[in-house]
Each structure stands twice: as C-alpha cells, then as structure tokens.
Amino acid sequence: MGTYLNPGNQGFQEILQSDYVDKTGLIAVVNKTVGTMEKLTCISRPRRFGKSYAAKMLCAYYDCSCDSHALFDDKEIARTPGYLEHLNQYHVINIDVTSFLSLAQRKGVPLQDVPNMITDAVQTELGELYPECVRDNLTDSLIRCVDRTGRSFIVIIDEWDALIREAKEDLVAQKRYLNLLREWFKNNSFTPQVVAAAYMTGILPIKKDGSQSAISDFIEYPILDPDGFAEYTGFTEGEVRRLCEKYGMNFEDARKWYDGYDFPDIGAIYNPYSVMMAMRKKRFDSYWQKTSAAESLMTYINMDFEGLQEIIARLIAGEEIEVRTNRFANDFETFRSRDDVLTLLIHLGYLTWNREDGTAHIPNEEVRMEFEEILEGTGVSRKWIELIGRSRKLLEDTIAGNAEAVAKAIEEIRGTQYAPTFYNDEQALRYVIKFAYIAAVDQYLKVEELPSGKGIADVVYLPKPKSLLPALVVELKWNKSSEGAIQQVKERNYPAVLKDYGGEIVIVGISYDAKKKDHRCVIERV
C-alpha cells in the first residue's frame, strides 16, 4: 500500500469508528459509470460537505491492495447490483491536491512545480510496488502497469481546484496543472486503456476555457445541479431527524440552523459537519468554517460593485435574489458582473440556489450569522451601517411602545435606496418593513404569513430560545387605519398561535395613507 497509489482502506476504517451516516449508495452511482463514456465525474460542493469522506470511501471500495468486505457488507452499497463485481478490483490513484500545496509551501517550491510533484510522487510509488512497470514518464508507466497486472485504474482527486484557487494570479501554474489533467483524462491513447473511472471533488466546477470547460470530457455535478448525486451532497432531512432522536436534540432547531439546500425529489439537504458538531456538543451554534475566498469577495461589496451592497442587504433581510449563474468562469479572479460574485457565494455555501426559479437566498441561521460577521469585519459601507443603526433603534422603539418613533423611522427608511421604486400597494409596504426590522434577525426568527386561527399574519418575529424579548406581530394596511390592523390581529386570534413561546406579545399595526403620503403606527401589548 502507498500514499498515492493503492492507499488501502484505513482512512475509511477511521471514519466508520465515529457515528457514521451511511452514504455508500454514492458508490453505486459511480459504479454505473465505470468503463463507460460517462466515467469521468467532477463533483463540486462547499467546504465541510463530506467531499473528503467520499474520497476515502471510494478508495477503500475500489483498491485492489486490500479486502474491504467487512467495511461494506452491512452497508447500503452491498444491496445494489454490481457490488461484488467492482469491490477491490482496481488500482487506485488517490491525490489530495491540498497536501501537495502544503508540501510546496514547506519546501519553498513555486506553485508552477506542483504538477511535476504530483506525477513524481505517483511514479515513485509505482516503482516501489511494480518496479518492472516503470518507464521514462508516468503515463507510459501506468499503461505498462495495466498490461502487466490486468487491472485498470480508478483515479480519485480530492480538492481538485485547490491549485486553481491558490494560484489565482499565476496563469503558468494553472496552465501546467490543467495540462496534466488533460494528459490523464483527454488522451485518446491513454485514458481509454488506463482509466476505468475518475472521481474529482472540489469547491468549484472545472475552470472554463472561454465558454467551455477546460477538461471537457468530465461530466460535472455542481451544487447548482447535483442531479443523481443530490442525495449524497449532505445529510437528508430523514437522516437529521434520526440523529436528533439519537442525541436527544430538537429537530426544528436543527432545521433552523443547518437546512441549506433543497433539491427536487430529495428535499432538504443539511451541512453534515455542522449537524454532527451540534449533536456531539449538544449545542446548536455556528460551526461554519470561514474561507479566505469569501472574505476576498467583500472587496467587491465594499466597492458597491454593480450595487452589491443593496443586494447583500436584501439577502440578509430574507429576500430571494435572481442570479444568472451560467456566465461564471469558475475561478476566483474573473468577476464581470455582480452575478459572478453571487454565483461564487453559492458555490462557497453562503447562498443556496433554487434552480427552478433562478434565485438565491441565505439558507439558514448558521450561514446568516457568518455572512453578517464577514460584512461587519470588512467595514462594508456607511449606508449599510446606517441602515443597521436605524433598524436597531426602530426595534427598541417598537418594544418600548413608541408608535410615533416607529412610524417616523419607517418613513425615513422608505426614503432610502432600500425601498421599491413603485410604492403603490401593501406588498411594497411589506418590502420596506423587511428592511426596517433587519436588525431583528439577530434575536428573532422571522416568519412571513404565519397561519393563525382565522387568517394569516403579515410578519411575525419569534424570539429565539432563551431570549427575554417579546414576540412581535406586525400587521400591515394600505390606505386603511393602523387601528384596523390591530383589531384584525385580535379578531383572527393571532396571539393564540404564539402561546407556546410564553412571555409578552407586541402587536404592531402599520398603515400607509397614499393620499397623505404618511405612515401611521399603533402598538399594543398582550
């Protein structure tokens, strides 16, 4: 066994020693591609979504240098066709690109030399295991190995895009690395003979060369469209429910904190790392792993690149934003529009993507907290700071029952860039209210159109666990009295819906008179 060639199954054995959620069904999806024209697979996911776990699992399953029956016989994969046909039947090349970047940094080697480091490492181990197969270059050596052993190769590359990300300004390093991948996977005399299948994972899809993929033979399954791999992107809702039952944790809280994506036919997908950390620590919190890439995007937000500051404010307020993702170059340096910046945030996991309507939004409490922290840490513009300051004062006045101050504050926010151009209906008023109370998301869970006994409440802010603040019910009226809004809340029995939350409830009636062009507010406590 080696490090890069036939690494064995020890890595997956260690994973199984922890509380493992069975994701071996992914192997069956890969098995269907082995030896076919679809055998080159590239999976891109945000950090901490189990990419390295999957790579170690695949190594353990395919590697011919070990016997992995005991690891898989009781797992989902054992119940699928082709299980024994492929189990431990191939040579495996396993490359974690980040390990070579660390080695290069430690030795003071330029990133341009990393591709040669990768080929040299595999060639060296091939010489140790099969010295009779070694030739002048790695590709010839691998062809010889297949001829001598009768086994082809499964190539597994983890963090494939790490060099693209790190060498974002070094075009020579990028070109050499992409040429290496082309040599392995786009070589008509090498790839069909040597490679039975390839599985690459990374944060980004394959970098584009113009409008096309730089390694066009790969079939890509990005977070934007994971297709048959959607179920294995993270934890499903059923898996999280079972974990919560096992650890005695509240599932609804887990949903608020970690529900990140929603795919057709699969449903909600959760961040595996964060869910397991919450279970082990018995505490729902942010376990998000910040990336320097995300922080670098704040440069564009600080510059208000194509109005990004307003977009970010709308996202934090809970809005869904239309994003055109098809023009993104799949790198960290080519940003031609705000859509490119937002698309990268989707790939990094800071936004979730709704493919059906082409919109993105902040997925959950954990990500929202980290999103705000990055914004605050980079000193995002004065307009943003002013909005947050106004909103915090508005929240204080609301809880204190200062209706006149609330109406005045909403009037001021109505006059900012965060208000819709056409202020002509109750929906426009609702839009302004979202920004007016944007600071409430730190201490409240916002629910729009909460069902009640006899209707639907416009906007409800439910205090987070252990909060001493009252719940807020905000009812909106266009060209009707704010007193009427209060009366409607009482008649429809909205406070009864909130009885399980305990404590006081503040009912806020807000109206706008289109003729007088002013806002009115009435506040009552129950």
Neighbouring residues of 403: CB distance < 8 A, sequence distance ≥ 6: 521, 522, 523
Do 219 and 301 share a domain, yes or no? Answer: no
Distance CA 226, CA 187 (A): 27
Cβ contact 94:59 at 8 Å: yes
Do 136 and 36 share a domain, yes or no? Answer: yes
pLDDT score for 181: 92
| CATH classification at residue 145 | 3.40.50
| CATH classification at residue 476 | 3.40.1350
pLDDT score for 391: 83
Does residue 286 form part of some domain? Answer: no
Do 22 and 113 share a domain, yes or no? Answer: yes
Do 265 and 349 share a domain, yes or no? Answer: no
Do 311 and 272 share a domain, yes or no? Answer: no
Tokens encoding 147: 């001829």
Tokens encoding 252: 């609804």
Cβ contact 479:424 at 8 Å: no
| pLDDT tens per residue across span 202-231 | 988 887 665 456 677 899 999 988 999 999
Do 355 and 414 share a domain, yes or no? Answer: no
Does residue 5 form part of some domain? Answer: no
Does residue 401 form part of some domain? Answer: yes
Last residue of a domain, which of 354, 380, 406?
380
Does residue 3 form part of some domain? Answer: no
**154 DSSP assignment:** E
Distance (Å) of CA 224 to CA 293, 328, 354: 19, 12, 8
Do 355 and 437 share a domain, yes or no? Answer: no
Q: What domain count does the chain have?
A: 4
Do 209 and 318 share a domain, yes or no? Answer: no
Do 57 and 156 share a domain, yes or no? Answer: yes
The residue range of the domain holding 352 is 292-380
pLDDT score for 420: 66
pLDDT score for 298: 66
Question: Which portions of the chain are predicted below pLDDT 70?
Answer: 208-214, 289-304, 374-385, 417-422, 424, 449-457, 466, 482, 492-502
Strands (DSSP E) found in 203-279: 208-209, 212-213, 219-221, 235-236, 259-263, 267-270
Does residue 4 form part of some domain? Answer: no
| pLDDT tens per residue across span 458-514 | 788 888 776 788 888 888 888 877 677 777 777 766 666 666 666 788 888 888 888
pLDDT score for 212: 57
Do 363 and 343 share a domain, yes or no? Answer: yes
pLDDT score for 1: 73
**63 DSSP assignment:** B
Cβ neighbour number for residue 176 with a 10 Å cutoff: 18
Does residue 14 form part of some domain? Answer: yes
Does residue 138 form part of some domain? Answer: yes
Does residue 443 form part of some domain? Answer: yes
Do 109 and 87 share a domain, yes or no? Answer: yes
Last residue of a domain, which of 198, 215, 231?
231
- Per residue, the 3-state secondary structure of 21-59, as one string, reads CCCCHHHHHHHCCCCCCCCEEEEECCCCCCHHHHHHHHH
Last residue of a domain, which of 251, 281, 311?
281
Do 461 and 503 share a domain, yes or no? Answer: yes
Cβ neighbour number for residue 352 with a 10 Å cutoff: 22
